[in-house]
Amino acid sequence: MDTPAVPLPQDAREQAVLDSLVVIRDKLLLLKQDRTTYIRSQDVIPLYDETISRVKELDEIRTETGNKEENRLDKVLESCFQLLSLFYLTIGRNNELPANYALTSTIKRLLDHLTEADLYSAKDLESIQTTLTNLSNSIKQAESREHKAENSPYLLKLLSNRVTKCLATLENLQKRLGRIGEPLLPTHEKLISILRSISLANTKAKFSSAEVQKLQKQLLDIGEKRKDGQFVDENGNVPQGSVELGELYQRCLKWSEMVLERKGSMPEQFRPTYETLVGIRNELEKLSLTQAWALRETDLYDFQRQLDKIDESRQNGNFYDDRGRPADLYTQRTMLYLIRRSYAYIYSFILASEPVSEALLPVYNQLQTLKRCLLEVRNSGGVSSVRELYPYSMKLNSLDNLRVDGKFVVNGDIPEGQGSVSELLAECFDLTYDLRVAAEEATASNSDGQ
């Protein structure tokens, strides 16, 4: 596992902690790669406890020495927490404190990129605002007296600091967005949307000039609604933010022209990085279509590491080739778009992670599909006879029969997420019962009518 070029610890005791953490990280990586069996709580919790013990040691050493310099130990510790966090999601312990670490890492990246690009809409901030509020509440709850004993003070402090920093960045972004007056916000959101669509078209395997020209026409249509070069409201007044919106409009227009000129061609020296980024984006896009069935949360670690490495290789925001030459504006923007898009996918995957162990996911996913089908049947008028419900009832009973003493058991274990799966099963039974009653009543009233 390549760790960034960060110095080794000077203190011999810190070096011993580092050696222990490297062993833990390697165990976690081996566990992540093993596809022959489901990951169980008992595989993960001891490694988490061991990490927390090493952290306590480290805290004592640094309190004594007063060392605040970051070294390789901090990087390896970060990897351990990142992996453990994704493992907690994989085993369905989403509501426990360690599960939040990976989410805070991704949110920080997204917010830093939004700040740097200054291209975002209110919609982009809404989801992050909700997530950070939820994280903040979880941390406050974990800090409360009844939960304090079961949580590491180090992890609590670390997450609390991360969330506080993210909230401060978010507040700055919201203030910056406040420059745009209310009447102009829909136009602002539309421009951001077109800009992203152009960037998407620019990174497709087969470049389509027609697609970009169509988007460019949408931009020009927006531009034509200006009066004397200014964006106005429906009464013809110039609201606050008209100048900022005009600048954004020009940026979008220039970008569309640049993309049409370059047609997706990337300078040779940046092609390997570009292809890596396109590969990551495409893999994540594929996963977004089959996420419930194909994604193991720990898989996200490798994508994160690759993205972090490329993102951190930038100097003053730009990419440099082997000979120290900076990328031109087109190359820089194209690669940054791919990095941001990939982080956004990772964020959505972590948010969508269900509090169910991967051992129970096959049953959970089947019940989710069954529930969707039953809702569809109900919303389209129900069934004309009870017979039509047989396939659903048979599937439901076959899943219910997997339970032993009311619990779903997998290879002798009782995985996390029993409550979520049982609740979903009960919902499906309720839906089939309601449909059956409605069908029986309809059949009875038809018989009476005849």
Amino acid at 448: D
Provide mean pLDDT across the span 388-412.
92
Report the pLDDT value the prediction gives residue 324, as an integer from 0 to 100.
92
For residues 238 and 229, what is the distance between their CA atoms, to the nearest angstrom? Answer: 11
Contact criterion met (CB below 8 Å) for 3 and 70: no
Query: How confident is the model over 13-47, as pLDDT tens digits?
Result: 999 999 999 999 999 999 999 988 899 999 999 99
Query: How confident is the model over 243-254, as pLDDT tens digits?
Result: 999 999 999 999
Contact criterion met (CB below 8 Å) for 91 and 13: no
Query: How confident is the model over 356-392, as pLDDT tens digits?
Result: 999 999 999 999 999 999 999 999 998 888 899 999 9
pLDDT higher than threshold 70 for residue 1: no
Report the pLDDT value the prediction gives residue 2, as an integer from 0 to 100.
46
Provide mean pLDDT across the span 291-317.
90
The 8-class DSSP code of residue 94 comes to T
Q: Of 312, 335, 450, which Cα lies nearest the Cα of 2?
A: 312
For residues 372 and 366, what is the distance between their CA atoms, to the nearest angstrom? Answer: 10
CA 319 to chain centroid, in Å, comes to: 25
Query: How confident is the model over 119-147, as pLDDT tens digits?
Result: 999 999 999 999 999 999 999 888 875 55
Report the pLDDT value the prediction gives residue 141, as an integer from 0 to 100.
87
Residue that the structure tokens 């809404």 belong to: 126
- How would you label 92-116 residue by residue, b for 16+ Cβ within 10 Å and e otherwise? bbbebbbbbbbbbbbbbbbbebbee
pLDDT higher than threshold 60 for residue 353: yes
CB within 8 Å of 234: residues ≥ 6 apart: 183
Provide mean pLDDT across the span 200-217.
96
Report the pLDDT value the prediction gives residue 236, as an integer from 0 to 100.
83
pLDDT higher than threshold 90 for residue 332: yes
pLDDT higher than threshold 60 for residue 396: yes
User: Which helix (H) or strand (E) element contains residue 407?
Assistant: strand 407-408
Report the pLDDT value the prediction gives residue 218, as an integer from 0 to 100.
97
pLDDT higher than threshold 60 for residue 149: no
Structure tokens at 204: 């497709």
Report the pLDDT value the prediction gives residue 326, as an integer from 0 to 100.
95
For residues 112 and 114, what is the distance between their CA atoms, to the nearest angstrom? Answer: 6
For residues 332 and 319, what is the distance between their CA atoms, to the nearest angstrom? Answer: 7
Report the pLDDT value the prediction gives residue 3, as an integer from 0 to 100.
45
Distances (CA, A) of 211 to 88, 187, 218: 42, 21, 11
pLDDT, averaged across the chain: 92
Provide mean pLDDT across the span 294-307.
92
